[in-house]
Structure 1
Amino acid sequence: MSLALSTILYEWRRYFGAVIALAVAGLLVLAMTGMFMGMARSFTATIEHSPAQIMILPPQADGIMGDTGQARRIIPQIYQHPDVVEVQPMVMNWAFWSNFPKDGQPSKGDGVRVVVVDPVKGAVTLPLDFSDDTVEALKEPFAVVIDRTSLGKLGVKVGDKAKMNGMTVTVAGVVDGYPNMFNTQVFTSYQTAKLIYVYNEGPKVGPLLVKLRDPTRAKQVAAELNVIGGGTFKAWTREQLSKSSQIGMLKEGGIAVILGFMAFVGVFIGIVITWQTLQGAIMANIKEFASLRALGVSMGSLRMIIMELSIWVGVAGLLLTGGLVAGVAALAKMGGVPMDFPLFVDIPVAIGLMIIAILSGMFSLGVLKKSQPADLLR
């Protein structure tokens, strides 16, 4: 075991402040990013759980949130590819929801996003995680299904009646994995969607869901469909669209400013507090460093010990950050707040925390100048 690691383990209380500072900096950035990523993930959950391997969007769209609709007449073009089995539009619309309050229950009204599915197993519009009971429930006229975490927000429970666009509907079941802290998603069948006036077969459609004979050829078929389209649409694989939608949400002006500010504050707090704490801990051990110099250990070797100390502080900070983020995510899940931590966010944050720890160690090297062997005689 190295001297630096044994020092960290034996005198962990002196270095714990630096570890806490790093963990708080990481938590600040990851919690904010995770919340916004969770919001984006809640919009793409229906796509990620779809049996479709390819999604068709307008050529200018860079994600599901940027879809402004496209002409229905492009559907026959997509069928020109021999690997395409089924093409259906993903129908999403808006409706006003209101509950029927019972004794002592508050009246709740809200705008909801209606997602229309075909309640037939294997249908390209039906999410893969819908159970047989859920599919059967959706076949009933005026039946709707919502995420379990949205029951309290909408003021209903399974079996209750509610109103959508003035029409009475029944909450026939619940699903898991589709939480949304802003726009609650309500699933209906095509039949029910027509009855509550949220679906019509107009000339424009939303994203197109494409099912393939061989799902393993999704990337190749998407590229070939883009050639067939000649710029009239853009084909995405399910994974590409999900990732692009999440990144696109991060690029939104207000969100980018907020996350940038949080990152700046986190880095500032991390560097200053970690540096000061690490420097104080080294000062407390200055006699030990002076003893090492008296034994002939070079200044370069002592600097390497300091740098290794800072690296171990960074590693401990990463572990504590992981634990804190897991705790926050668990609390958020209990409260129905969607959070997501994709690797393209986690990895840069982890690298950033290690850089903060290393920089703090570099800033603390000046303390070694006070480790004079002569001071041991005082």
Structure 2
Amino acid sequence: MSYSLATIWYERNRFLPAILAVAFSAMLIVLQTGLLVSLLAMMSVPVDKAQADIWVGYPGVRSVDLGRPIPDRWISRVLAQPEVVRAEPMMIGFALWTRPIREEAPSPPEVCTIVGTRLDSESLGAVEAVRKNRDLLANLSEPGAVVVDRSEFHRLGIRQVGDQAEIFGHRVKVVGVVDGYKSLSGPYVFCSLETARPLLRIRPEDTTYLVARCQSPEQVPGVIEQLQTIPKMQAFSAPDFSMRSRMHWLTTTKAGLALGFTALLGLLVGAVVTSQTLYSATSASQREYATLRAMGIPRWRLKASVLAQSFWVGFAGLLLAIPITWLLTEIAQLLGTQIRLPAMIILAGSVITMAMALLSGLAALRSFSGVDPAHNIR
């Protein structure tokens, strides 16, 4: 066992606050980032859960839920591309959901996001949970039929399938539910194109988007390049449009700034505590370091041992943070809050935390100014 690791073990009570600080920083960074990614992913659900390769909308559209009406006849321009095998209209927009009238006091209208698509198993715009459920496809074919996420019942003021409400004076009926399609803004309301048109007040000759699929994914960039040459039309690949929607909400709502500030605060707290702990441990061991200097141990090796201590403190903190982060993620899932933790987030959080621990070790080296072989004979 190395000298640094042995020192941490035999003086573990002294180094424990630093390990806990590192674990807290790592946990906060990963959880905050995972929460932010999950929240932003809600805003691109119509893109991520559909199977369209290309999205065509009005120039300058910043997010999938902020589309403007475009002529439905533009679909001929999309189908004119030889690589496109299928294209269809799709409607997405905000509307006001008026909750069912009951004996209790009426509630104010709720903003919802209408998602109108074609209803078949090969639909390019229908989300996965709808297009793969034959019962939902059949039920949505009825005029005024809609499907919502089960977790949005409370926001929409409904209790069960079969409840009715109004959207801009048009009666709608909940004919089914889906899971995992919660929205950060207005709850998603899935329906047919025929139902969506009056709810969004879109003219019969217009639509919000045109979605298309190519013969192979490799052909998508070329088709988009060709469509971009057409005036008053802007085309995106599905991944690009998804990212565009997330970045719009990230910069508009300032959610990323708030969560990022909290994570930065946790990182600073961890750095200060770790640095002070290592500084105190080094200062308290000046007599031992002075003895080692008198034995001929070079100063750079003593400094390297402090940096090694900071590495092992960071490593121990990460090991402690893993089960705590997993436990808190599971608790959040049970409470209905989704936290996504892809490998990239975990890796980035670990690298940042280790860098913080090593920088704290560098800051603790200032205590070596008092290390001198003559220290033990004073």
TM category (shorter chain) comes to 0.7 to 0.9
1:193 pairs with 2:199: no
Q: Distance in 2 between matches of 1:317 and 1:80?
A: 58
The amino acid of 1:96's aligned partner reads W
Q: Distance in 2 between matches of 1:129 and 1:38?
A: 19
Which range moved further: 130-139 or 353-362?
A: 130-139
Query: Residue by residue, what CA displacement relative to the aligned partner does 1:167-189 show, whole Å, maximum 9, x if unpaired?
Result: 44332222122112431111112
> CA 1:318 to 1:246, structure 2 compared with 1: closer, same or farther past 3 Å?
farther
The amino acid of 2:153's aligned partner reads L
SS at structure 1 position matched to 2:200: coil
Shift of the alpha carbon at 1:300?
0.8
> CA 1:33 to 1:79, structure 2 compared with 1: closer, same or farther past 3 Å?
same
Which position in structure 2 is the counterpart of 1:95? 96
> CA 1:239 to 1:202, structure 2 compared with 1: closer, same or farther past 3 Å?
same
State which of 189, 205, 209 in structure 2 corresponds to 1:207: 209
SS at structure 1 position matched to 2:129: coil
Q: Distance in 2 between matches of 1:316 and 1:246?
A: 35
Query: Residue by residue, what CA displacement relative to the aligned partner does 1:88-144 show, whole Å, maximum 9, x if unpaired?
Result: 233123132303558x89967522111112221111121223342332332333332
Q: Distance in 2 between matches of 1:347 and 1:326?
A: 15
Q: Distance in 2 between matches of 1:231 and 1:13?
A: 69
> Do 2:65 and 2:92's aligned partners in 1 also have CA atoms closer than 8 Å?
no
Which position in structure 2 is the counterpart of 1:183? 186
Query: Residue by residue, what CA displacement relative to the aligned partner does 1:329-367 show, whole Å, maximum 9, x if unpaired?
Result: 434433334544567766655443333212110010122
- In the TM superposition, what are the counterparts of 1:105-116 in structure 2 within 5 Å? 109-116=109-116
Q: Distance in 2 between matches of 1:222 and 1:35?
A: 32
Query: Residue by residue, what CA displacement relative to the aligned partner does 1:260-304 show, whole Å, maximum 9, x if unpaired?
Result: 643553443232222112223444555554454454332211211
The amino acid of 1:128's aligned partner reads E
- Which structure 2 residue ranges, 5 or more long, are not aligned? none
> CA 1:14 to 1:125, structure 2 compared with 1: closer, same or farther past 3 Å?
same
Q: Distance in 2 between matches of 1:9 and 1:57?
A: 62
SS at structure 1 position matched to 2:128: coil
SS at structure 2 position matched to 1:197: helix
Q: Distance in 1 between matches of 2:70 and 2:270?
A: 47
- In the TM superposition, what are the counterparts of 1:41-120 in structure 2 within 5 Å? 41-64=41-64, 67-93=67-93, 94-101=95-102, 109-120=109-120
Counting matched residue pairs gives: 374
Q: Distance in 2 between matches of 1:231 and 1:341?
A: 41
1:299 pairs with 2:299: yes
Q: Distance in 2 between matches of 1:265 and 1:309?
A: 24
> Do 2:65 and 2:113's aligned partners in 1 also have CA atoms closer than 8 Å?
no
> Do 1:181 and 1:337's aligned partners in 2 also have CA atoms closer than 8 Å?
no
TM-score norm. by structure 2 comes to 0.82
1:153 pairs with 2:155: yes
> Structure 1 vs Structure 2: percent identity of aligned residues?
27
- In the TM superposition, what are the counterparts of 1:250-265 in structure 2 within 5 Å? 250-252=250-252, 254-255=254-255, 257-259=257-259, 261-262=261-262, 264-265=264-265
> Do 1:142 and 1:192's aligned partners in 2 also have CA atoms closer than 8 Å?
yes
> Do 2:114 and 2:189's aligned partners in 1 also have CA atoms closer than 8 Å?
yes
Q: Distance in 1 between matches of 2:161 and 2:322?
A: 40
- In the TM superposition, what are the counterparts of 1:1-378 in structure 2 within 5 Å? 1-8=1-8, 11-64=11-64, 67-93=67-93, 94-101=95-102, 109-130=109-130, 131-132=132-133, 133-165=135-167, 166-194=169-197, 197-198=199-200, 200-202=202-204, 204-226=206-228, 229-230=229-230, 232-252=232-252, 254-255=254-255, 257-259=257-259, 261-262=261-262, 264-286=264-286, 288-340=288-340, 349-372=349-372
Shift of the alpha carbon at 1:317?
3.6
Shift of the alpha carbon at 1:163?
0.7
> Do 2:89 and 2:117's aligned partners in 1 also have CA atoms closer than 8 Å?
no
The amino acid of 1:116's aligned partner reads G
The amino acid of 1:241's aligned partner reads F
Q: Distance in 1 between matches of 2:253 and 2:181?
A: 26
> Do 1:101 and 1:155's aligned partners in 2 also have CA atoms closer than 8 Å?
no
- Which structure 1 residue ranges, 5 or more long, are not aligned? none
Q: Distance in 2 between matches of 1:192 and 1:232?
A: 27
Which range moved further: 54-63 or 27-36?
A: 27-36
> CA 1:216 to 1:137, structure 2 compared with 1: closer, same or farther past 3 Å?
farther
Cα RMSD (Å) of the superposition? 3.5
